[in-house]
Amino acid sequence: MDAEDFSQIRDAVRQLVREVVIPREEEIDLDDRIPEELRGAIADMGLFGYALPEEYGGLGVTMREDVELAFEFGYTTPAFRSLFGTNNGIAGQVIAKFGSEEQKERYLPRLAAGELIGSFALTEAEAGSDPAGLRTTARRDGDHWVVSGTKRYITNAPLADIFVVFARTDPDERGGRGISSFVVDAKAPGVTLGPRDKKMGQSGAWTSEVFFDEVRVPADALVGEEGRGYSKALTVLSRGRLHIAAMCVGMAQRVLDESVAYAATAKQGGAPIGRFQLVQALIADMHTELIAGRALVRDVAARYDTGEDTSVGPSAAKLYCSEMVGRATDRAVQVHGGLGYLRTTPVERFYRDARLYRLYEGTSEVQRVIVGSGLLRAAGMPRG
């Protein structure tokens, strides 16, 4: 896509976010759902497939373009992006990158059109930060695989039409080897869901447990090579981490804008609180860290596109930006005083929403381990 086409898409996304989604943020939070007509607008704009390949109906954005869109998505409730995030991200990318031609043709155009919702089912109890310890199994039975196990915290599970599921196919292998990935129809007999999780924030974005009880899937549901699913998951997560870093930048911009607008008008002692230099300091620190985060994300995205760094950079960006937006939302509440603690004030909602960014798609500790160990390995340190 040329630069002009992309800037038209970005402007349209900005307009949708600011004119349609933001006015309904509070409703989305209170009702814990994305209104149906918004889903239609998202589909019309092609957002269910913005990161899927153009030849399968997506917009095929580069990582540099992806982060520019995520800056816009991040400016409103994260539930907005969550609805189409798994199609473009972790679930759709596994099929786009590693699926057979037949799988791509079967799923990608419908994912890109928003006719199907795909969910990525990797995490289990005792296999979150270290998914290589997962216990879901898939055993071969004639021309089928039989999948059994329980996944938890799966985004969009209650809406999903298909799950990209990671399961151990070789019980004799340990760790990441011997794990494979499958596309499983959400309606297949034996697939059931737990109740929707009650979360601290990000209302309107749904997660739940997913149970696979002896689910029979055809042999061609296997994505890519048998036993290589884990390395696939890692590649896809790395792209997702950079995207989340950009979402954090978007949210930091929003809470900064809310804080500046509030400080410029809310008064104490007859003068706007923005006259107080300690309030200015809160705003200055938010702004400084925000522009550092944005520059970091853009730099890492450019190096992701050239293939120069697809692991350490995305983790460093996710680490910095998720921690940065935590500080930004905290300062934004501070600028708003008591109002910042009241429900229905946007910064109160963002304060809760932001907390997830330090946990999912790899905790901050996990990002530190990836960055630290990656640099040491590059310097020749032997693997432990």
Ligand X SMILES: Cc1cc2nc3c(=O)[nH]c(=O)nc-3n(C[C@H](O)[C@H](O)[C@H](O)COP(=O)(O)OP(=O)(O)OC[C@H]3O[C@@H](n4cnc5c(N)ncnc54)[C@H](O)[C@@H]3O)c2cc1C
Piece of the chain touching ligand X by CB under 6 A; list 4-12, 123-131, 208-216, 373-381: 123-131
137-141 and 179-185 beta bridge pairing:
unpaired
Q: Does 120 bind ligand X (CB under 6 A)?
A: yes
Q: Does 367 bind ligand X (CB under 6 A)?
A: no
Residues 6+ positions from 301 with CB-CB distance below 8 Å: 62, 63, 64, 66, 67, 242, 246
Q: What's the distance, CA 128 to chain centroid?
A: 15
Q: What phi and psi, each to the nearest 5 degrees, are found at residue 218?
A: -65, 155
CA atoms within 13 A on the CB side of 156: 29
Minimal CB distance residue for ligand X: 128
Cβ nearer to ligand X, comparing 213 with 365: 365
Residue with tokens 């520019």: 68
Cβ nearer to ligand X, comparing 233 with 256: 233
Can you tell me the distance from the alpha carbon of 265 to that of 272, in angstroms, rounded to the nearest whole number? 5
Q: Does 153 bind ligand X (CB under 6 A)?
A: yes
Helix 277-305 crosses helix 312-336 at what angle (to 10 degrees)?
160
Residues 6+ positions from 137 with CB-CB distance below 8 Å: 147, 148, 149, 167, 168, 169, 171
Please give the C-alpha separations between residue 333 and each of 291, 304, 357, in angstroms, as whole numbers. Answer: 20, 34, 18
Q: Does 360 bind ligand X (CB under 6 A)?
A: yes
Q: Does 208 bind ligand X (CB under 6 A)?
A: no
| Residues classed as catalytic | 361
Piece of the chain touching ligand X by CB under 6 A; list 48-56, 139-147, 244-252, 363-371: 363-371
Joined tokens for residue 151 = 């996944």
Piece of the chain touching ligand X by CB under 6 A; list 47-55, 121-129, 184-192, 271-279: 121-129
Q: Hey, is 272 helix, strand or coil?
A: strand
Q: Does 231 bind ligand X (CB under 6 A)?
A: no
Q: Does 363 bind ligand X (CB under 6 A)?
A: yes
Cβ nearer to ligand X, comparing 155 with 322: 155
Cβ nearer to ligand X, comparing 90 with 300: 90
As a residue count, the chain comes to 384
Q: Does 359 bind ligand X (CB under 6 A)?
A: yes
Piece of the chain touching ligand X by CB under 6 A; list 29-37, 114-122, 186-194, 333-341: 114-122
Binding pattern to ligand X, positions 127-146, x when CB under 6 A?
-xxx----------------
**Between residue 337 and residue 356, which ones bind ligand X under the rule CB under 6 A?**
356
Enumerate the β-bridge partners of residue 185: 162
Cβ nearer to ligand X, comparing 133 with 272: 133
Can you tell me the distance from the alpha carbon of 247 to that of 241, in angstroms, rounded to the nearest whole number? 10
Q: What phi and psi, each to the nearest 5 degrees, are found at residue 216?
A: -90, 125
Q: Does 122 bind ligand X (CB under 6 A)?
A: yes
Q: Hey, is 97 helix, strand or coil?
A: helix
Q: Does 123 bind ligand X (CB under 6 A)?
A: yes
Minimum distance, C-beta of residue 274 to ligand X, in the bound complex (Å)? 35
Piece of the chain touching ligand X by CB under 6 A; list 20-28, 149-157, 208-216, 279-287: 149-157
**Site residues (vs ligand X, CB under 6 A):** 120-123, 128-130, 153-155, 199, 207, 356, 359-363, 365-366, 369
